[in-house]
A = this chain, B = another copy of it.
Amino acid sequence: MQVSKDHPRYKSLVVREMMSKMVKEGIVTPTGMIAHGRGEAFDYLLGERTTENALNAEETAVALLLKASKPVISVNGNTAALCGKEIVHLAKMVGARIEVNLFHRTRLRVDKVCRHMERAGAKGVLGREPDALLPGISSERANSTIEGIFSADVVLVPLEDGDRAEALVKAGKKVIAIDLNPLSRTAKAASITIVDELTRAIPNMITMASSLKADPERRRRLIEKFDNSENLAESLEIIRARLEHLAQEGKA
């Protein structure tokens, strides 16, 4: 389909068409599209911009990834589709491994997402041959690798579901989530929740990584000061205030 550039939702429409293509290729699942839509709604309520508290969460997350001894970025279909290249870049910057973990797992689909990440430049992608099970998850997402997520101390999980985020925390890992819904179970369970849209958050984090690498004192302070429930409450307050503003506008 051709999308007119005049359309008020041009950017969203272009991303939607790209995601549709990814469904046909088997990278994204139909239910992954529903999750994308939920994100769109929350992003709309946030004003489709990176808020100040999201920036703070992003910078703290980068500091934590740099501090980690075994950081891993967990990649699912939506993440691969939306920003595969940027994930590869960030992984290099912070020295993290990439592991593919899917909600709707089949060998074929895992291989497709791994190859997608490899085409985006990733080396040594984990996930094709899981050799450990994360406790506390009944579904296929329990699959993990000893080299990767199973032994990781810090895991970045963009677009994760609540069950797995909670299980990762229970397994003693620091969990960094990227989730546009500040009320989700994932958002509440994570150690650091970035309430921002993925394709805005990851490039921000790449930029931050270069300067934070040279500044251990700032890294220390960021981690020390960060309070996730406070940060989440701020995101919620931003949405609430925006709704109030939009309601006023509607009346005027």
Contacts of A1 in B (CB 8 A): 104
User: In the complex, what distance in Å separates the CA atom of A232 from the CA atom of B112?
Assistant: 45
User: In the complex, what distance in Å separates the CA atom of A138 from the CA atom of B2?
Assistant: 11
Does A133 make an interface contact (CB < 8 A)?
A: no
**CB-contacts of A19-76 with B (<8 A):** 19-20, 23-24, 28-31, 33-42, 44
Known A229-B250, A229-B251, A233-B251; judge A31-B20 contact (CB<8 A): yes
Q: Is the CB of A34 within 8 A of B31?
A: no
User: In the complex, what distance in Å separates the CA atom of A244 from the CA atom of B16?
Assistant: 31
Contacts of A16 in B (CB 8 A): 31, 34
Does A131 make an interface contact (CB < 8 A)?
A: no
Q: Is the CB of A239 within 8 A of B243?
A: yes
User: In the complex, what distance in Å separates the CA atom of A209 from the CA atom of B236?
Assistant: 39
Does A246 make an interface contact (CB < 8 A)?
A: yes
User: In the complex, what distance in Å separates the CA atom of A188 from the CA atom of B246?
Assistant: 12
User: In the complex, what distance in Å separates the CA atom of A42 from the CA atom of B38?
Assistant: 8
In the complex this chain forms, how many copies of it are found?
2
Minimum C-beta distance from A57 to chain B (A): 16
Taking a contact as CB atoms closer than 8 A, the residue among B17, B28, B38, B240 that contacts A40 in the complex is: B38
Does A183 make an interface contact (CB < 8 A)?
A: yes
20 new A-B contacts at CB < 8 Å, known A34-B40, A233-B250, A243-B243: A1-B104, A4-B138, A19-B30, A20-B29, A23-B23, A30-B30, A31-B33, A33-B33, A33-B34, A33-B37, A37-B38, A37-B40, A37-B41, A38-B41, A39-B41, A41-B42, A188-B250, A229-B251, A240-B243, A240-B244
What are the 9 closest A-B residue pairs judged by CB atoms, nearest first? Answer: A37-B37, A41-B41, A33-B33, A34-B37, A20-B30, A23-B30, A38-B41, A37-B38, A236-B247
